[in-house]
Structure 1
Amino acid sequence: LLHGITGSGKTEVYLQAIANVLARGEEAIVLVPEISLTPMMVQRFKERFGSKVAVLHSGLSGGERYDEWRKIHRREVSVAVGARSAVFAPFTNLGLFIIDEEHETSYKQEENPRYHARDVAIERAQHHGCPVILGSATPSLESRARAQKDVYTYLALPDRIGQYAYPEVAIADMKEELHAGNRSMFSRVLMEKLREVVARNEQAVLFLNRRGFSTFVMCRDCGYVLQCPHCDISLTYHKRFEQMRCHYCGYQERVPHECPACQAEHIRFFGTGTQKVEEELTKWMPELRIIRMDVDTTQRKGAHERLLKSFENEEADVLLGTQMIAKGLDFKKVTLVGVLAAETMLHLPDFRAAEKTFQLLTQVSGRAGRHDLPGEVIIQTYTPEHYSIELSALNDYEAFYQKEMAFRKRGQYPPFYYLALVSVAHEEQMTCLEEVEKMARYLRKSLSDQAVILGPVASPIPRIKDRFRYQCMIKYKNEPALLPAMRKLIEQYAEQIQKKEMQVAIDMQPYAML
């Protein structure tokens, strides 16, 4: 486990380790969590290793992916860089696995086969007798706990390269802003700092953990919120298309001009999306040049690369985006990072909510002041007292780790317990509930008394694509009977699953709780 703060030179460690491996005539696989990180990472690897590098990610067309795969197969290249599925690159003489940003949940595949790239890498590395480097500025609690128990070797890079200091981080309490009469989505300190950055001809990164224009649409008279007719989730407003969209099943409809429930005309947009932030910024500073990066603007092939390139070439003052801009990016002129709604992830029904918030804020803060110019970070939030926000501002991973581990121990969550999630989806609500209750009874009978079986309960989003969803959670430490019991469950329902009457998903070590 290579625990290096942002800007400490983890990539250089990777490059030198790979150079050693290649000198021995062996091969290396490098995993990066998201397609948006791939261009920068690939550029650095190609600068060092030239044509020996193959790139594998979902943004490639079928033909391009086949070409890269064939290069590996024919041993024309020795290094594969890519997202999750690159862990299966068909090298035969592996000397090293590197997993960058190892804490990232995108390494876990949420459809069948539900593998975690980290586990696959460790399994393959044991077969080849080679090391695995897990790199992160904010390691997952599971990895850090394994390092503490000497299951993993722990290596630390506590300082930034050169004399560059970690950026100054300030927390802006949005409740106080409201009391002071500031009703905008930007705190006064962030507005002031943005003006200064533009005046100095430097750049800023603004991060919002959402996409779309507003989060939901509500009637102010009767409180009706526009829901998706096929899923139990509110529709999101997308201004560019003047549409309401469901981010789960893709359902879309026109924006209503009056409330469907009470016919009042007081329809209001609530929440904040990237499009809305862009509009507000332009109103406030018309001369501001903004590049927006979210799922809507990066759908076209090569869009990630093009947008990041134009920001690097200083064709814009502000890079505004969702999670895809939070990590791995390295721009010389970025001296200000603004986080617009730090608490959006904190209130999700997920025991990892605080951990994900801490990781994301620490990562995004690390985009500022990575070179000669000092950096500043402003974190805007309505919950400034939460420990994940306070400790990310102090860049204190150890304090966060201790506090979060105590919470996990009390709640019997990983890394103290393993989890397994059994989810069932069916068009008939009662059938779904009956079947999942049967499964729970079977598991209680098959497993030891040490296993904790929670549920069955309705999933946090109880209906998606007209199918009702129920789930059962199993917490366990050592349960040899678990895998045979799970296999038997799948066998029992094989026919219904095959006929698509019922969906049964078994997820060992789940990451997506919704």
Structure 2
Amino acid sequence: MAQIGQVLVDVPTMQTNDPYSYAIPAELEQQVQLGMRVTVPFGRGHRVVSGVVVGLSDGTNFDGQLKPIASVLDLAPVLNEELRQLADWLADQTYAFRITCIQTMLPNLLKAQTAREIKPTTELSPAEMAQYFPDGAPREFDTSKLDDKTMAGLLRLQRAGKVEVTYQVTSKATAKTVTGILPAQSIDELKAHQDAVVKRAPKQAKLLAYLQTLSPTTPVAQSRVSHDTGVSAAVITAAEAKGWLVKQPIEVYRDPFQRPVTPTAPLTLNTAQQTAVTAITQAIDEQQSQNFLVEGVTGSGKTEVYLQSIAVALDQGRTALMLVPEIALTPQMVNRVKARFGHRVAVLHSGLSKGEQYDEWRRIDRGEATVVVGARSAVFAPVKNLGIIIMDEEHESSYKQDENPRYHARDVALWRGRYHHCPVVLGSATPSLETRARASKGLYTRLLLAKRVNDHPLPTVHVVDMREALKQQGESDFSEPLLTAIQARLDRHEQVVLMLNRRGYSSFVMCRDCGFVLKCPNCDISLTLHMDTHTMKCHYCGHEEAIPHVCPNCHSRKIRYYGTGTQKVEQALQQLVPTARILRMDVDSTRRKGAHEKILRQFGQHEADILLGTQMIAKGLDFPDVTLVGVLNADTALGLPDFRASERTFQLLTQVSGRAGRADKPGEVYIQTFNPDHYAIELAKDQDYERFFVTEMHMRHQGNYPPYYFAVQVTASHEDEATAAKAMYQIVAAVKKGLSANAIVLGPTPKAIARVKRKYYYQVVIKYKHEPQLKSVLEQIRQAAQIPARHGLSVTIDPEPMNFM
């Protein structure tokens, strides 16, 4: 009996969690394995789509003729047993489809693309051939590139059977190769040739002598042959023509590490660090899936705790996975880990080229790399036999994916910890309230690092009331005390970090006569001025337009720029302290590959005095000569309609304050604010996390917010506002049927930013403690949403959203 493959197909217009049965061709029987990617014919049009084999059997309940698998895209499975189970769990938790979860786990180069091609049949007349296929070859069938007249003509020809559409699945996964050299003759034959040419062709003789030292089965890179012998590529090519050697490709890895690092040895631990390492290593030794919260003030040596715990896992022949919240932190952390563990370290994040990501992924999959460091998606790295999982700065919102599947990396890390019976270490100076609350209940083991390494004092923090500063010195981004402190650091050749939580030159452009604010035509948001490109940009959809000099509404010339961005502050700073060398680090200045690392390296090598940036500079950075940190606008997040606004503000201020005085020189921090009495700012001044935790938990309890309640956010969007609103009301009615009286339903309401990318957004937020029917109701809503999705109505379900905006 023929072997049957159960295949999850990737068909965006109508997805399902149920696999389809396909016959495995006789020549592929016993070769197709679980977790392999394949291409299969799908639907009545027999279009070819990609899929993943999730089951194998010798029979099926299907009565008809099964379609055969068209081709196999992999020589080995790209998903192991663990990742297949993880995809199933993730689909269940995030209300996503299994194939979507699988695609999320794979590096970009392993995601197959489908190309459509339209080609003529023998029925096509010469005139039609000349009109539609002038070069006689098939043409790409991309409806976005065809005009209506051509499209209509091609559809007519297709109905008449004169043209046909074919589907080609192309896999982008390619290995990098270099030319390798193998000797093509025996040592005796090569020696005879060498003796014959030694006098008239010394270069050839040298090459022949070298070929005699090579293995006949293991090729050596041509570049190395040239280096070792000093002969040119032309001499090697001539030797190939004479039959002395053969060339063949050798696969090589693309190396994402730009420069070598100096190896480091483990540091001596203080008592608190040693207690933490002992507790974690005991869980590694006993193979327990125990969860730890390493809560340590900034500069308390959490990274050394991580490194020494990883070393224990590696000594036992196991592997380690370490997550950092964003690319900006990756270069410093990767360098520290690589300095300790060398070539065993692989790095995974979106800043790598696709080829580098693919090569690092294969190094991990093949077991050649045993320590993985990366950002959010690295939590899916195919690392086997995990001995420890570490999640640094676990409170960061960037660990939550904001597209399907809407997973939180922390939840995935905890699942993998249970699967591998290994500890999961969550580290932060300012843990999320959810994590800290679980530690209070004993669900996580709390390990406290209350002091900085070597008893270095925490920086002195000054809160500057900008209401008073404006009265005394007028409109300015810099208060007098902060400017004085900056100048003092420049005089002492020390370094300064300044944080402004807004990129661009200015927040918005407004007419002083009529109050008109220039908004994005696609989104319900004002455009931001960018002086480097001399354009107005939307930070949501990317729309750009020229800077207006006349008001589009009343035609007044009194159009002015309001608010502050990093570019504007950089210009102002240059005028206030003209001798200072300034580096700017924000999304705009770090777009190019390797830009994060380059800026941080320049700052670390004292090529700049001041590092000015957005919140990407607030955490993880460790520069011994930074003795002053300035926060220019501490209120940015406080004004948002977000239940986590106070928590985010406290965390950000505490984290950025921790960049000062991390070595022998004492640190100082200036926080500029219009809300000096707000508890988040007052407690950040003292770095008093415990008091903040108690205060904020009380506020959450009063408002029935997480972690006292679970939450789900359902959003409907459409280009027509009435369609989005109507869908949302229908969803709310369906949800309420399945809920108890204890659940709290907020909405439906328009989202805080009601229109983005020409679509209107409506939402409902459900807060609950125990609702057994909610999951099945939401699953039905998700399934039912697929049909209207074809007509532009999008419905998304976000479990445990990071905000309700």
- TM-score category, normalised to shorter length: over 0.9
Q: Deviation digits for residues 249-301 of structure 1, max 9, x if unmatched?
A: 11111011111111111111010000000000111111110000001110000
For 2:525 and 2:572, the matched residues in 1 are separated by: 27
Q: Deviation digits for residues 314-364 of structure 1, max 9, x if unmatched?
A: 011100000110000000100000000000000111100000000000000
Q: Which residue of 1 aligns with 2:538?
A: 246
Q: Which residue of 2 aligns with 1:109?
A: 401
1:71 counterpart = 2:363: yes
Q: Match of 1:395, as an amino acid?
A: Q
1:446 counterpart = 2:738: yes
For 1:217 and 1:311, the matched residues in 2 are separated by: 33
Q: Which of these residues, 194, 216, 228, is aligned with residue 486 of structure 2? A: 194
1:31 counterpart = 2:362: no
1:481 counterpart = 2:767: no
- 8 Å contact kept, 1:208–1:322: yes
For 1:56 and 1:181, the matched residues in 2 are separated by: 48
1:182 Cα deviation after fit: 3.5
- 8 Å contact kept, 2:399–2:410: yes
Residue aligned with 1:320, SS:
strand
Q: Match of 2:545, as an amino acid?
A: E
- 8 Å contact kept, 1:34–1:106: yes
Q: Which residue of 1 aligns with 2:379?
A: 87
For 2:507 and 2:767, the matched residues in 1 are separated by: 34
1:46 Cα deviation after fit: 0.6
For 1:328 and 1:500, the matched residues in 2 are separated by: 45
Q: Which of these residues, 386, 392, 395, is aligned with residue 678 of structure 2? A: 386
- 8 Å contact kept, 1:218–1:225: yes
Q: Which residue of 1 aligns with 2:456?
A: 164
Whichever of the two has the greater Rg, that structure is: 2
In the TM superposition, 1:5-44 aligns within 5 A as 5-44=297-336
Q: Which residue of 1 aligns with 2:594?
A: 302
- 8 Å contact kept, 2:644–2:803: no
Q: Which residue of 1 aligns with 2:501?
A: 209
Q: Which residue of 1 aligns with 2:756?
A: 464
1:183 counterpart = 2:506: no
- 8 Å contact kept, 2:516–2:551: yes
In the TM superposition, 1:57-68 aligns within 5 A as 57-68=349-360
1:267 counterpart = 2:559: yes
Q: Which residue of 2 aligns with 1:494?
A: 786
Q: Match of 1:507, as an amino acid?
A: D
Q: Deviation digits for residues 368-398 of structure 1, max 9, x if unmatched?
A: 0000100000000111111001100011001
Q: CA RMSD in A?
A: 0.7
Q: Match of 2:753, as an amino acid?
A: I
- 8 Å contact kept, 2:367–2:384: no
Q: Which of these residues, 657, 670, 686, is aligned with residue 365 of structure 1? A: 657
For 1:500 and 1:123, the matched residues in 2 are separated by: 37
Residue aligned with 2:369, SS:
coil
1:276 counterpart = 2:542: no
For 2:455 and 2:735, the matched residues in 1 are separated by: 57
Q: Deviation digits for residues 137-170 of structure 1, max 9, x if unmatched?
A: 0000000000000011111000000031000000
Residue aligned with 2:363, SS:
helix
1:509 counterpart = 2:800: yes
Q: Match of 2:510, as an amino acid?
A: M
In the TM superposition, 1:397-436 aligns within 5 A as 397-436=689-728
1:181 Cα deviation after fit: 2.8
Q: Which residue of 1 aligns with 2:425?
A: 133
1:493 Cα deviation after fit: 1.7
Residue aligned with 2:702, SS:
helix
For 1:429 and 1:19, the matched residues in 2 are separated by: 56
Q: Which of these residues, 620, 642, 657, is aligned with residue 350 of structure 1? A: 642
For 1:32 and 1:431, the matched residues in 2 are separated by: 40
- 8 Å contact kept, 2:456–2:662: yes
Q: Which of these residues, 600, 603, 607, is aligned with residue 311 of structure 1? A: 603
Q: Match of 1:510, as an amino acid?
A: P
1:507 Cα deviation after fit: 0.1
1:224 counterpart = 2:513: no
1:179 Cα deviation after fit: 1.2
Question: Which stretch of structure 1 is more off in the superposition, 488-497 or 45-54?
Answer: 488-497
Q: Match of 1:5, as an amino acid?
A: V
- 8 Å contact kept, 2:785–2:794: no
- 8 Å contact kept, 1:30–1:81: yes
Q: Which residue of 1 aligns with 2:73?
A: none
1:500 Cα deviation after fit: 5.0
For 2:584 and 2:601, the matched residues in 1 are separated by: 13
For 2:563 and 2:536, the matched residues in 1 are separated by: 14
Structure 1: any 5+ residue segments left out of the alignment?
none
* Identical residues among aligned pairs (%): 57
Residue aligned with 2:329, SS:
helix
Q: Which residue of 2 aligns with 1:258?
A: 550
For 2:473 and 2:590, the matched residues in 1 are separated by: 36
Question: Which stretch of structure 1 is more off in the superposition, 183-192 or 97-106?
Answer: 183-192
For 2:507 and 2:476, the matched residues in 1 are separated by: 16
Residue aligned with 2:330, SS:
helix
Q: Which residue of 2 aligns with 1:143?
A: 435
For 2:754 and 2:553, the matched residues in 1 are separated by: 22
Q: Which residue of 2 aligns with 1:2?
A: 294
- 8 Å contact kept, 2:438–2:444: yes
For 1:72 and 1:178, the matched residues in 2 are separated by: 56
In the TM superposition, 1:318-357 aligns within 5 A as 318-357=610-649
1:483 Cα deviation after fit: 1.1
- 8 Å contact kept, 2:389–2:413: yes
For 2:721 and 2:589, the matched residues in 1 are separated by: 38
Q: Match of 1:365, as an amino acid?
A: S
1:482 Cα deviation after fit: 1.2
Q: TM-score, normalised by structure 1?
A: 0.99
1:211 Cα deviation after fit: 0.1
Q: Match of 1:149, as an amino acid?
A: K
For 2:338 and 2:758, the matched residues in 1 are separated by: 47
Residue aligned with 1:170, SS:
strand
- 8 Å contact kept, 2:581–2:608: yes
- 8 Å contact kept, 1:451–1:474: yes
Residue aligned with 2:570, SS:
helix
Q: Deviation digits for residues 40-77 of structure 1, max 9, x if unmatched?
A: 00111011000110000000111100110111111111
Q: Match of 2:443, as an amino acid?
A: V
For 1:286 and 1:375, the matched residues in 2 are separated by: 24
- 8 Å contact kept, 2:715–2:797: yes
Q: Match of 1:511, as an amino acid?
A: M
Which structure is higher in RCO with an 8 Å CA cutoff and minimum separation 6?
Answer: 1
- 8 Å contact kept, 1:110–1:512: no
For 1:241 and 1:500, the matched residues in 2 are separated by: 37
1:495 Cα deviation after fit: 1.0
Residue aligned with 2:298, SS:
coil
Residue aligned with 1:241, SS:
coil
Structure 2: any 5+ residue segments left out of the alignment?
1-292
Residue aligned with 1:99, SS:
strand
- 8 Å contact kept, 1:293–1:319: yes
For 1:502 and 1:246, the matched residues in 2 are separated by: 23
